[in-house]
Structure 1
Amino acid sequence: MRLIIYLIALLTALGGLVFGFDSGIIATTFGHESFRTTMYGPSQANAALTGAIVSVYNAGQSLGGPSVGYLADKFSRKYTISFAAFLSIVGAALQASATHVGMMIAGRLVAGVACGQLLAVVPVYIAEVAPPKHRGFLVGLQGMMVAIGFGLANWVGYAGSYASGSATWRIPLAMQIPIPIILMISVLFVPFSPRWLMRQDRIEEAKQVLVRLRGSDANASELLAQEVIQIQEQLKLEKEQSGTGWVTSLKALFSRRFIRRTATAAFIVVQGQLSGAPVIQNYQTIFYAQVGFTGKTSLLISGVYGLMGVIGTALYLAFVADKWPRARTLWSGSFILAANISICMALSARFGGNAVSRNMDGARASIAFIFIYSAVFAMFFNAMIWVVPSELFPMFLRSKGVAFAVFMKSVVAIVLSQITPVAMEQVAWRYYALFVASNVTAGILYFFFLPETGGKSLEEIAELFGDTLATERIGEIEVDAKNAALADEEEGDNVRDPTGEEGHRVPQKGQ
């Protein structure tokens, strides 16, 4: 694989870093006394407002995700990424300068819109420029960036505890700004998606991009020619069968023909929420308090928790990406998560609350299994929940399908963010049972119903769902080329004889 593809994927995957940092920084922000006083008043506690600050961010994602279905197809993938980065800067500025809870909520809403767009468009862009055999790794780089963002946010939040006054949380929130500035400007220099260019009938530009991505040596040129023909013919077939209008395409997303892919993509992304990992990430200081760790100790634990996600995603890139089948990765990871969170539930039940004063070893074991949970989620899901949905759809539905999946994820996240603070107060450790059940259910569904998409081109994956491929057209083109070559050979048999007269057939061997 060419270095330029790595660089392009790493650069656009900064969108994952923006999301990870923006999502993770709120967890440590809640841990600062100055923030709680500014937002909630002298009581320093308001479960409803805490849930609102988290849930409005997810509400923003539910708005930003669907907008990608139009923006990415109309204005290109890379311009949509740049616009989303700009919105992220605006949202971060509002949060860092917030003087009351309303301003904070507004900032989280704008940041949520931006991150919803980034989550939907970045994996689509990377999937469309990546060669099939490396697509799991390259799209997985977004998962690595998300993990790095979470980990970085936790350590920045911990460092903020050594400041004084409102600087303890304003400076960490302001650190959301530099990364999207870099992304907003630098993404303008990456190439357009070749598939998007072909969709716009900018064929020559698409070929030039593919030459940059695949190389120009003899072997690469042959593969490139095949890829160009396959993409062109598949796009023609899609236009003939489904039309070109945006509204028509949106209706097709929920048609009988495509509903299975739409539901599968949405389920995989939603299950990323129902696995329990994002809930633990956002409310980890509450979980730690239940087993006796508060203040700077809690923030330090959050920093270590963030590192586990980076380690887990690194293990995915090294040992799982494009090496394990997609389906096996998802179902085995689901069952491992279910077992892990069952242990967390048992330890919290036994050593949580007042019991922690009698057995600190049990409390530490609870924290240890939360760390393991973070690493397991990162290894099996942090990247994979974006890899598979970005592969399932044909070109004219890809951005819309992933956008819908992000929308559904955001809706579920809103519900979870609202009920989690109340659930932790009312049912405590029993809340874990929801995530045990969801992981077991997901594992069963992945095992029996998820088709394997690894190693196939984006056009070939459609065949797994019963789509008609353009292979017959490609075959006809190849046959026509062979017939033309044979005709040229026959014409070559009639050559000028030594006397200069034409039309005399050269005697063939054996004649």
Structure 2
Amino acid sequence: MGYYIIIVALVVAIGGFVFGVDSGIMGTTLGHNTFKLYMLGPTMKNPSLIGAIVSLYNTGQALGTFITGYSADRFSRRWTICAAGIISTIGAALQSGAANVGMMIAGRFIAGLGCGMILTVVPVYIAEVSPPKQRGMIVGLQGMMISIGFFTANWIGYGGDFATGDAQWRIPLAMQIPGAICLSIGCFFIPYSPRWLIQKERYEEAKKTLLALYGDKGEDFLSQEFSQIHDQIQLEQTASRTKFLKAAGELFSRRYIRRTGTACFILMMGQLSGSTVIQNYQNTFYAAVGFTGRTALLISGVYGIMGVIGQVIYLVAVADKWPRTRTLWVGSFFLCVMISICMALSAQFPAGTTSIAGPRAAIAFIFIYSCGYAVFFNAMVWVVPSELFPFFLRTKGLGLAVFSKSVVAIVLAQITPVAIQNVGWRYYALFIATNFAAAFVYYFFLPETMGKSLEEIAELFGDAVVTEHQGDIDNIEKEKDVIPQSKHAETSV
């Protein structure tokens, strides 16, 4: 595997960092009394309004997926990622300069719009430039960057507590901007997806991109890769040239509904694992076991480290070594156990308890939960959905899956503050049940995709797949019966 692929993937994976910071920063922001006083008034309490600030971000994500499904196919994955970075920058600027709660909600919504686009198109792009044998690791770089972004957000929030006045939360919110700007600038230095170029019949550019990405693998591999991508897209040609809405409707056809349902289920279960609830409302959970103020913010910073540690474990020991299905069902069972322990500890040692050991144990198991989620899910929930769909449905299918994830996140954002206030530790039971159900589905019904090309994965679902390849990459343009001449002038990538 060449260094160029890793560099390209890391540039695009900055999108994961942007999402990690954007989603993580609100957890610490809600821990600042200056923010709550400014936005919520003298009482500093308004569960419904807090839920709105969190959920409008997820609403923006949901709408961003619809933009991406069209834009990534029409204007390319590359420039869609660039646009997402610009939109995220605008949203962050509105948040950091918010004069009232309405402006804050608008900023969160626009940032969510950009992150919804990022979550849809970044894993698709990385999957399309990755070799089959290393795709789990390379797409997993996005998960690593999400963890680093979340870790960074927690420590930015902690550092903000040492400022005075509104700077405590305005400066941390402004720290969403640098990553988004870097993402947009980086898009000028990466190639188009070779699959997108072939679909647009820009064959010369596609050939150059494949040479840059896979030049170390030899001409036979390059020839076979080009031929398989081209011929598979030709098989899908009729569907791929239909109107956007008609093509998107294919997601619900008998032929593709299983893939659609699987992708949506995986990302929805990523939310229903409890990870986002713990992330956004961790200061509330810490308060429930007796930790508040700067101590809670410090705990949030340490919590972020666990995600990075877990992601490193995934890249070293799990990615492309464990089957996808085993990773997901073992992970679901692990989270089920961790949440059960946290529920028992929270019930036994509520806020105000005289015991020190109990609350500390509860925090420790939340940390272990965070590490486990990063090992088993932080990357895998993006790897598998990005592999399932044929080219003409890939961005649309992943977009629908991210939309489903966002809808679940919106519901959880609205009900969590109220649930914590009214049922307390019993709220954990929801996530125990959902993780157990997810483990059952992954074990018995999820097909294994590890090590297969994106085109070969279609065979698992009964699609016709090109398996015979011929020709040398230097002669591809001469084989007119296999690969037509490009209709476009060659441009530099």
Per the TM superposition, whether the score is higher than 0.5 is: yes
8 Å CA contact 2:224, 2:470 repeated in 1: no
Quote the offset at 1:476 in angstroms: 9.0
CA distance in 1, matches of 2:397, 2:350: 42
Amino acid in structure 2 at the alignment position of 1:462: A
Q: 2:310 aligns with which of 301, 309, 312?
A: 312
Q: What's the TM-score, normalizing by structure 2?
A: 0.94
User: 2:392 aligned with 1:434, yes or no?
Assistant: no
Instruction: Give 1:102's aligned residue.
Output: 102
Amino acid in structure 2 at the alignment position of 1:85: G
Instruction: Give 2:201's aligned residue.
Output: 201
Instruction: Give 2:485's aligned residue.
Output: none
8 Å CA contact 1:242, 1:248 repeated in 2: no
User: 2:378 aligned with 1:382, yes or no?
Assistant: yes
Instruction: Give 1:253's aligned residue.
Output: 251
Deviations, residues 340-373 of structure 1 (Å, cap 9, x unaligned): 100000000000133x2x2110000000000000
Deviations, residues 62-117 of structure 1 (Å, cap 9, x unaligned): 00012110000000001000000000110000000011100000000000000000
Structure 1 runs not aligned, ≥5 long: 482-511
Instruction: Give 2:301's aligned residue.
Output: 303
Distance 1:174 1:290, change over 3 A: same
Amino acid in structure 1 at the alignment position of 2:398: V
8 Å CA contact 2:239, 2:392 repeated in 1: no
Instruction: Give 1:509's aligned residue.
Output: none
Deviations, residues 252-294 of structure 1 (Å, cap 9, x unaligned): 1111100000010010011110000110000000000000000
CA distance in 1, matches of 2:240, 2:206: 22
CA distance in 2, matches of 1:475, 1:37: 66
Q: How does 1:72-83 map to 2 (within 5 A)?
A: 72-83=72-83
Instruction: Give 2:169's aligned residue.
Output: 169
CA distance in 1, matches of 2:79, 2:355: 55
Structure 2 runs not aligned, ≥5 long: 476-493
Q: 1:364 aligns with which of 356, 360, 363?
A: 360
Instruction: Give 2:220's aligned residue.
Output: 222
CA distance in 2, matches of 1:476, 1:18: 42
Instruction: Give 2:157's aligned residue.
Output: 157
Amino acid in structure 2 at the alignment position of 1:370: I
Amino acid in structure 1 at the alignment position of 2:23: S
8 Å CA contact 1:242, 1:252 repeated in 2: no
After the TM superposition, which parts of structure 1 deviate over 4 Å for at least 4 consecutive aligned residues? 475-478
User: 2:417 aligned with 1:451, yes or no?
Assistant: no
CA distance in 2, matches of 1:415, 1:116: 16
CA distance in 1, matches of 2:432, 2:424: 15
Quote the offset at 1:243 in angstroms: 4.7
CA distance in 2, matches of 1:27, 1:409: 19
Distance 1:461 1:311, change over 3 A: same
Q: How does 1:413-428 map to 2 (within 5 A)?
A: 413-428=409-424
8 Å CA contact 2:223, 2:471 repeated in 1: no
Quote the offset at 1:33 in angstroms: 1.1
CA distance in 2, matches of 1:206, 1:476: 17
User: 2:59 aligned with 1:63, yes or no?
Assistant: no
SS across alignment from 1:382: coil
Amino acid in structure 2 at the alignment position of 1:101: V
8 Å CA contact 1:291, 1:363 repeated in 2: yes
Instruction: Give 2:9's aligned residue.
Output: 9
8 Å CA contact 1:38, 1:99 repeated in 2: no
Amino acid in structure 1 at the alignment position of 2:307: G
Instruction: Give 1:347's aligned residue.
Output: 345
CA distance in 2, matches of 1:379, 1:210: 31
CA distance in 1, matches of 2:257, 2:72: 21
Instruction: Give 1:395's aligned residue.
Output: 391
CA distance in 1, matches of 2:240, 2:303: 47
Instruction: Give 1:277's aligned residue.
Output: 275
SS across alignment from 2:236: helix
Q: 1:466 aligns with which of 462, 468, 473?
A: 462
Instruction: Give 1:20's aligned residue.
Output: 20
CA distance in 2, matches of 1:167, 1:56: 23
8 Å CA contact 1:51, 1:418 repeated in 2: yes
Instruction: Give 1:325's aligned residue.
Output: 323
Quote the offset at 1:477 in angstroms: 8.3
User: 2:90 aligned with 1:90, yes or no?
Assistant: yes
SS across alignment from 2:377: helix
CA distance in 1, matches of 2:470, 2:454: 21
Amino acid in structure 2 at the alignment position of 1:89: T
CA distance in 2, matches of 1:366, 1:247: 48
Quote the offset at 1:189 in angstroms: 1.2
Amino acid in structure 1 at the alignment position of 2:465: L
SS across alignment from 2:191: coil
User: 2:136 aligned with 1:136, yes or no?
Assistant: yes
8 Å CA contact 2:387, 2:457 repeated in 1: yes
CA distance in 2, matches of 1:352, 1:333: 28
Instruction: Give 1:491's aligned residue.
Output: none
Q: 2:285 aligns with which of 287, 298, 305?
A: 287
CA distance in 2, matches of 1:265, 1:194: 23
CA distance in 2, matches of 1:387, 1:475: 26
Quote the offset at 1:188 in angstroms: 1.6
Moved more, 181-190 or 407-416: 181-190
CA distance in 1, matches of 2:470, 2:93: 57
User: 2:95 aligned with 1:116, yes or no?
Assistant: no
Amino acid in structure 1 at the alignment position of 2:332: S
Instruction: Give 1:34's aligned residue.
Output: 34
Q: What's the TM-score, normalizing by structure 1?
A: 0.91
Quote the offset at 1:241 in angstroms: 5.9
Amino acid in structure 2 at the alignment position of 1:196: W
| Identity rate, percent | 61
Amino acid in structure 2 at the alignment position of 1:186: G
Amino acid in structure 2 at the alignment position of 1:452: E
SS across alignment from 2:237: helix
Instruction: Give 2:43's aligned residue.
Output: 43
Q: Number of residue pairs matched? A: 473
Quote the offset at 1:443 in angstroms: 0.3
Quote the offset at 1:204 in angstroms: 1.2
